[in-house]
Structure 1
């Protein structure tokens, strides 16, 4: 018996790519409602930001409500790697570039719940 899930099933990878694109559009537009929707509404959700740490969906929501996006919020993505495992688990890792900033990195862990794909863990950092 194999416990290895199927990796990058085409229909799952396509769905995850669409959700990632929706997340990215919401991030650039600072669409707080969509960003909050796409994070798992649970105290176990974790987000490590560039200069902040949030444990739990409520802390993440409070941060989003107070966040003032920088003038250079639009960013160029490169080296996006989305990997799906089975039908309900995925990771999305990407580098990003913004004018005047060092290279940024973003890693997300996604799980498919009955209400849709949700980020359960996220990490953002900059190369220095």
Structure 2
């Protein structure tokens, strides 16, 4: 198995960047398109636990946009040509607390899709 084949990393980075742009623009349609539309898709957020694409999509429609943020370090690792992880640090406007985002991506016939995501903020809940 080839780990971090440059072309595959570039493809995943492009999908990751599309998601980030959609998140900052509150482009719900684009965000929904980048998550696998299946009951197995999971997203754990700072204040929510969402099981299945339908719960994730409903959350996005009700949220009214994500807080604006700046990305810090982004790490992408690909395993073969159809599975990848992305891990990113981010900083929301108005706070110095670091956020973390982890995503698992799988390449399907219709492109790269997030199948699992987790977002957290350092010190949240403590």
Where does structure 1 lack aligned partners over 5 or more consecutive residues?
Answer: none
Task: Report the secondary structure of 2:32's partner residue.
Answer: helix
Cα RMSD for the two superposed structures: 0.9
Q: Within the alignment, does 1:22 sit opposite 2:26 as a pair?
A: no
CA offsets per residue over residues 20-73 of structure 1, 9 Å max, x none?
100000000010001100000000000000000000000011111101225xx3
Deviating runs (4+, > 4 A) in structure 1?
none
Q: Within the alignment, does 1:117 sit opposite 2:112 as a pair?
A: yes
* 1: CA distance, partners of 2:83 / 2:62: 30
Task: Report the secondary structure of 2:90's partner residue.
Answer: strand
Where does structure 2 lack aligned partners over 5 or more consecutive residues?
Answer: none
Which of 117, 122, 126 aligns to 1:127? It is 122
- TM-score, normalization: structure 1? 0.92
Aligned to 1:49: 45
* 1: CA distance, partners of 2:21 / 2:39: 25
CA offsets per residue over residues 91-117 of structure 1, 9 Å max, x none?
000000022332100000000000000
Task: Report the secondary structure of 2:81's partner residue.
Answer: coil
- TM-score, normalization: structure 2? 0.93
Aligned to 1:96: 90
Report the CA distance between 1:74 and its aligned residue. Answer: 2.4
